[in-house]
Structure 1
């Protein structure tokens, strides 16, 4: 969710297995699952790389995400209670802290997790699964094409959405989340050249022992 590994980065099974202390069989299974979710490409030689979606892929992913999250907003508005409100307010407080501290990577991750948290609250496990997958895909798309969405803008939009949910206004909440995702999509489809990121070893060294 942090866009740490950029599209096209190679994902060698041996390096990943050594780094995380697991067998290549487990690594291969994990990569196969990520490929099913559209996050990894596996070539004819069975070599894996971080997926590089096309702009057509991007349009389809954002179109699906808007449809799914409009339904999430509708369902959450109908199930609203004080516990849901407290959970979202706690999450928004964490987003605000990350934004105030200028921690962009954490802000990106928390922003994505806000939408997954909402999907958790909708009470539909299949819907939650599909939202989780499409949020992952659109996060990858932003890594390829997008300009960074100003975190304060995202935070303000999340707050506005929660206010509509508190009112039980399903129609307004659905419109707000649609507009929010559309603004992210507009940045994702801006005409920018894809940028190269750090290599696998450098990224993994941030999370565990180096390979």
Structure 2
């Protein structure tokens, strides 16, 4: 085996591990374990995940591009802390993007895509009342599934970014709500898309996102140790968890 091939082979585990670190931190933010404004020290995160500070730094850099992490010179990284004005802007953009999504999908879903969406909604049903963070994640993933089905890579990328930002905003300004409403509206969306009723699908999406945005109130911040908060996400990614 050539030195070049051997080097490429050795690089694969690092890439996979880097992706696991990124996913673990991202999921901890999306599921609101790491709350807005919380400091993200590279050494503590690296210790908890059993990886180098370099991999942690790479993951935080990726998350900063997505708007989930803020990087400040001489101050390090922290979970992004959007203002109420920024929160309103994000929801306005998301509403416009998701109208485009359902408009492009109305009457065009394949049988397999319908099955995928209906299966996902059943998972949302099962998560109700059992695991708040899991419900949050599944609700966001439903919208990402829709954007992926458009086949428009740019639209999908933007929807994923604003959906992540919305999860962050709800961690900061959100108040408790019934997930039953969201699941019911997801079912209504699927039915409207199957019928090819773009106007109804857009109306359901508008109502759905307006209801989410209306839940904005100031929430208390979490001051728990970051290593304890990251532990379950480290285990899910097969990383060290002390």
TM-score by shorter chain over 0.5: yes
Give the corresponding residue for 1:38.
Answer: 67
Deviation beyond 4 Å, 4+ runs, structure 1: none
Residue 206 (structure 2) aligned to one of 178, 189, 192:
178
1:197 deviates by: 5.1
- Point out the structure with max Rg over C-alpha: 2
Q: Is the CA contact 1:77–1:170 (under 8 Å) kept in the aligned structure 2?
A: yes
1:154-190 Cα distance to aligned partner (Å, 9 max, x none): 11111111110110111211111111011100102x3
- Cα distance in 2 between the residues matched to 1:153 and 1:44: 43
Give the corresponding residue for 2:22.
Answer: none
The number of equivalent residue pairs is 208
Give the corresponding residue for 1:57.
Answer: 86
- Cα distance in 1 between the residues matched to 2:227 and 2:104: 42
- Cα distance in 2 between the residues matched to 1:9 and 1:23: 21
- Cα distance in 1 between the residues matched to 2:219 and 2:185: 28
RMSD: 1.5
Moved more, 201-210 or 156-165: 201-210
Q: What does residue range 120-135 of structure 1 map to in structure 2 within 5 Å? A: 120-135=148-163
TM (norm. structure 1) is 0.92
TM (norm. structure 2) is 0.81
1:148 deviates by: 2.6
1:195 deviates by: 3.0
Q: Is the CA contact 1:77–1:168 (under 8 Å) kept in the aligned structure 2?
A: yes
In the alignment, structure 1 segments of 5+ residues that lack a partner are none
Q: Is the CA contact 1:10–1:49 (under 8 Å) kept in the aligned structure 2?
A: yes
